Amino acid sequence: MKSLVLYSSKSGNTKKLAEALYNHLSGEKELFALADAPDPTGYTFIALGFWLKGGQPDPDSQVYLARMEEGQDLYLFATHGAAADSPHAQNAMNKAKALAAKAHIVATFSCPGQVAEKVLEKAAKKDPQPPWLADAPAAAGHPDEKDLENVVRMLVELDLP
């Protein structure tokens, strides 16, 4: 089995999750920032992590998700300033699933990620304010050790590579 772990990360939050997944995987595996990602062809399992922009996966992740192949096993994971179970986070994950419609989505994971102060300041000045802004203080310090354990636990529970 050939596995590929990809991440798009502006703050390092999503990269932390990607590294935890990569370190857990066995067998032939590769880890790349999305900007350096190889073509998805030939990989049995792909884990792709993204951050949210405007309530959707970031633009680079959207482009890559649309390239997924028929039946390819895909694990989607994301970090964001919103609460993990918020409509904002759920809608973004649903968008990611729709973009990768040809793939076989084996699992999803979403967790808060600390938002940079300058992003918080910019968001606070918007009218209306983004829906995730009220949740952002609780995202401080995330992803934490428990988040890293949980992103890997999904693989273990599904008996993935």
Q: How many other CB atoms sit within 10 Å of the CB of residue 119?
A: 15
Q: How many other CB atoms sit within 10 Å of the CB of residue 33?
A: 14
Identify the CATH homologous superfamily for domain 2-157: Flavodoxin domain (3.40.50.360)
pLDDT at 154: 86
Per-residue pLDDT of the chain (161 residues; tens, 9 = 90+): 799 999 999 999 999 999 999 999 999 999 999 999 999 999 999 999 999 999 999 999 999 999 999 999 999 999 999 999 999 999 999 999 999 999 999 999 999 999 999 999 999 999 999 999 999 999 999 999 999 999 999 888 877 66
Provide CB contacts within 8 A for 75, sequence distance 6+.
21, 45, 46, 47, 48, 105, 106, 107, 108, 109, 154, 155, 160
Q: What are phi and psi of 133, to 5 degrees?
A: -60, -40
pLDDT at 161: 60
